[in-house]
């Protein structure tokens, strides 16, 4: 990946996939800016904020110079079937996963260079249904809709907008989700077997997929979804 002075902004930069991407970019000589609830010591710059709060997002991007790219990874998950899901839980998942991505794009936009790249992280959950995860599935479907709409809006500036949709990824995010289930270890084993490759993804593998879409090697790819799921959807 070619070196540029302009930075890549990453929401959720302190998480499993986010921190892997930060390391990947820094190794390539790129500046990586993290926007997350938690600090990211490995980033060139790190801003602690709630990605669903517009004033905080706007303030963070106002402090940044030119951006070569934006990656929206920040996400949350809450269990609950449709008939029992509290409205506040639904609203929180949608606020972080969908609204947060929209706000990041909105406020990064003035600083994105012509020819830059936006990558949203969705999920195979946008294509399937799992009992008890209604809000998460809906939010990840919304991320894909946002990607498709934004790709047309930014095309006149030669800014590409794409999405990466992982299957299960071995991260603390996944660990927390499994901890909420009474048979977490059994579910973990089932999750590995659900992929043709027989395992979950490593965070660095998803970071590589994102890095590809950020790079000039993907200069003619926009408005599309890169499914990096180890054959999860194929096996279903």
In terms of Cα–Cα distance, which of 44, 36, 43 is closest to 20? Answer: 43
Q: Which two tokens stand for residue 166?
A: 């992982």
CB 12 within 8 A of CB 105: no
Q: Is 136 a catalytic residue?
A: yes
Alpha-carbon gap, residue 52 to 93, rounded angstroms? 10
Which of 47, 133, 136, 232 is catalytic? The answer is: 136
Which residue is it, tokens 């993804």?
A: 201
What is the helix (H) or strand (E) element at residue 28, kind and residue range? none
Alpha-carbon gap, residue 138 to 134, rounded angstroms? 6
Asked whether the CA dihedral 20, 21, 22, 25 is positive or negative, the reply is positive
Q: Which residues are catalytic?
A: 136
């Amino acid at each position: 990946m070619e070196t540029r002075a302009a930075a890549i902004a990453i929401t959720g930069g302190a998480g499993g996939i986010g921190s892997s991407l930060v390391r990947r970019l820094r190794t390539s000589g790129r500046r990586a800016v993290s926007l997350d609830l938690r600090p990211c010591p490995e980033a060139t710059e790190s801003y602690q904020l709630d990605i669903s709060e517009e004033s905080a997002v706007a303030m963070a991007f106002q402090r940044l110079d030119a951006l070569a790219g934006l990656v929206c990874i920040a996400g949350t998950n809450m269990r609950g079937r449709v008939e029992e899901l509290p409205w506040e839980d639904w609203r929180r998942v949608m606020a972080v996963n969908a609204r947060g991505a929209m706000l990041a794009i909105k406020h990064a936009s003035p600083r994105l260079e012509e020819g830059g790249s936006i990558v949203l992280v969705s999920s195979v959950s946008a294509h399937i249904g799992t009992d008890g995860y209604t809000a998460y599935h809906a939010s990840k479907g919304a991320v894909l809709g946002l990607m498709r709409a934004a790709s047309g809006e930014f095309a006149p500036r030669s800014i590409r907008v794409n999405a990466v949709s992982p299957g299960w990824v071995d991260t603390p995010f996944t660990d927390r989700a499994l901890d909420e289930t009474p048979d977490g270890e059994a579910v973990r084993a089932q999750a590995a077997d659900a992929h043709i490759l027989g395992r979950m993804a490593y965070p660095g593998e998803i970071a590589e997929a994102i890095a590809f879409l950020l790079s000039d090697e993907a200069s003619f790819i926009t408005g599309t979804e890169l499914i990096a799921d180890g054959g999860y959807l194929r096996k279903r």
